[in-house]
Structures are given as C-alpha cells and as structure tokens.
Amino acid sequence: MFTGIVETVGELTELRSVSAGMRMKISAKNLDFSDVSLGDSIAVSGACLTVTSFSNSDFEVDVSSETLSKTTLGLKKAGTRVNVEKALKFNDRLGGHLVSGHIDDIGRVLERTTLGDYVRFIINVPASLSRYLAYKGSVCLDGVSLTVNSVTEDSFEVLTIPHTLENTTLESLDVGISVNVEVDLVARYLERLNSSDEKTSMSKVSLATLVDAGII
C-alpha cells in the first residue's frame, strides 16, 4: 500500500527486454535506501513494482507485459522522470489517501490552465472509470494523491499546488500526455458490495449502513 505522497522524482536510466516484460533501472539519488530490501514494493509513476536489485542511489524492477500494456510504463524511454514512493509502513502518517499501486486505466490530459502559482488539469478517462470519481474525493494521478474538483461523464478536474508541481513530474504534463489513474479503493469496494447477488445474505450498502459502521 502507498499514500500518493511522492518521496522523490527518479530518472529511468536503463531498459532491458526480458521474458514477458521489461527490466527497468531507476536512478533515485534522493531516496533513502536504508530500509529497502529485495522484494520490497516501490511505486513508480503510481504502479506498484517489486525491487529486484538496488544500491544506495538506484534500483531495478521487473515490469510484466500486462503492466506495460495497462499503464504508461510501456511508453517510457531512458531519461524519463518518474515519481517514486516506497511502500507504506503501519506507523507512517497517511498524508494522502490509501493507494494500492494497481493502475485502473490510462487517462489523457485534455486541458492545462495556469492559475497564478497553481495549475489546473482536466483529465480524460473512460466513462467506465469516471463513475468511481466523486467531487472532493481522492484520485491518484501518476502516483500523486490529488483531490477531485469536478467530474463529468468522461473527465475530471484537479488543481495542483506549487509544492506538488515542484516535487513531482506533474509539472511536465501537457495536453495530450498520457497518465496513470487509480481511483479511490473505497469506491471500488462499495460497488462490489452493492452489486452482490441479492440472493446472498449480504445486504445493499446504504448511507445509513456507512454511518452505523462509523465509516462516515
């Protein structure tokens, strides 16, 4: 699990084809590797990947063909900058929101508008994905936890603050660029609960149910 709070921006320095996928080497000189072990999970541009080797300034991950086809990682080239976040510890602060690192779909930047020191992005997504987005809900964009400001049938809007722009790759986003999108986990689980067969003992989830459970 992750939080969507990017720890550093790394650089993709090497790509090598391997059986059924790609091996990527990422330079992350500002990342603290003191608590990293082989097999750990690290999010790269929002995608949860497994560390196969590392030093004190870089690490390698294997990316399956499935991940390459379902995320923007399949579009990356050497020299590309990527957002990097180590997996969440149980005693860490949850500064963003709970992020699984399992990309739901690829979005595309429709609009970029500068508003003083802020930048507003409108992201195009399939209608099948926008249904999970809610006004003032959370969304993860290229591994960055953001708040949804508005939603339409096939797009959503986010506003990025100066700190986010300076410390992630979102500053380089422009119209037409593809981005990894992960919706809020809660929305996925609520849909699953509500779509359960009514013949089962599981009842439909309602607002009253959530209040009674102390969730809201």
How high is the pLDDT of residue 186? 81
Q: Which amino acid is at 160?
A: T
**Rounded mean pLDDT of 108-113?**
98
Q: Which amino acid is at 139?
A: V
What integer best gives the mean pLDDT of the chain?
A: 91
Burial class of 79 by CB neighbour count within 10 A (0 to 12, 13 to 18, 19+): exposed
Asked if the 8-86 domain carries CATH number 2.40.30.20, the reply is yes
Res 121 pLDDT > 80 = yes
**Cα(155)–Cα(131) distance, integer angstroms:** 10
Tell me the H-state helices in 61-170: 65-70, 127-130, 162-167
Look up residue 99 and give its DSSP letter. Answer: B
In this structure, what is the dihedral angle of CA atoms 145, 50, 73, 151, given to the nearest 10 degrees? -30
Helix or strand run (H / E) with residue 186: helix 185-194
Res 199 pLDDT > 50 = no
Q: Identify whether the C-beta of residue 113 lies closer than 8 Å to the C-beta of residue 120.
A: yes
Reported confidence tier of residue 93, pLDDT bands at 50, 70, 90: confident
**Rounded mean pLDDT of 5-31?**
96
pTM score, whole prediction: 0.87
In this structure, what is the dihedral angle of CA atoms 136, 137, 142, 144, given to the nearest 10 degrees? 70
Tokens for 20, please give them.
């059924």
- What tens digit of pLDDT does each residue of 41-71 get? 999 999 999 999 999 999 999 999 999 999 9
Q: Do domains 8-86 and 105-190 have the same CATH topology?
A: yes
Q: Identify whether the C-beta of residue 78 lies closer than 8 Å to the C-beta of residue 15.
A: yes
Name the pairing type of β-strands 144-151 and 105-115.
unpaired
Residue spans of the domains in the chain: they are 8-86, 105-190
Q: How far is CA 211 from the centre of its chain?
A: 28
Class in CATH terms, 105-190? mainly beta
Say how many CA atoms lie within 13 Å of 175 toward its Cβ.
5
Q: How far is CA 203 from the centre of its chain?
A: 31
Tokens for 198, please give them.
């009514």
- What tens digit of pLDDT does each residue of 151-174 get? 999 999 999 999 999 999 999 999
- Cβ atoms < 10 Å from Cβ of 93: 9
Helix or strand run (H / E) with residue 194: helix 185-194
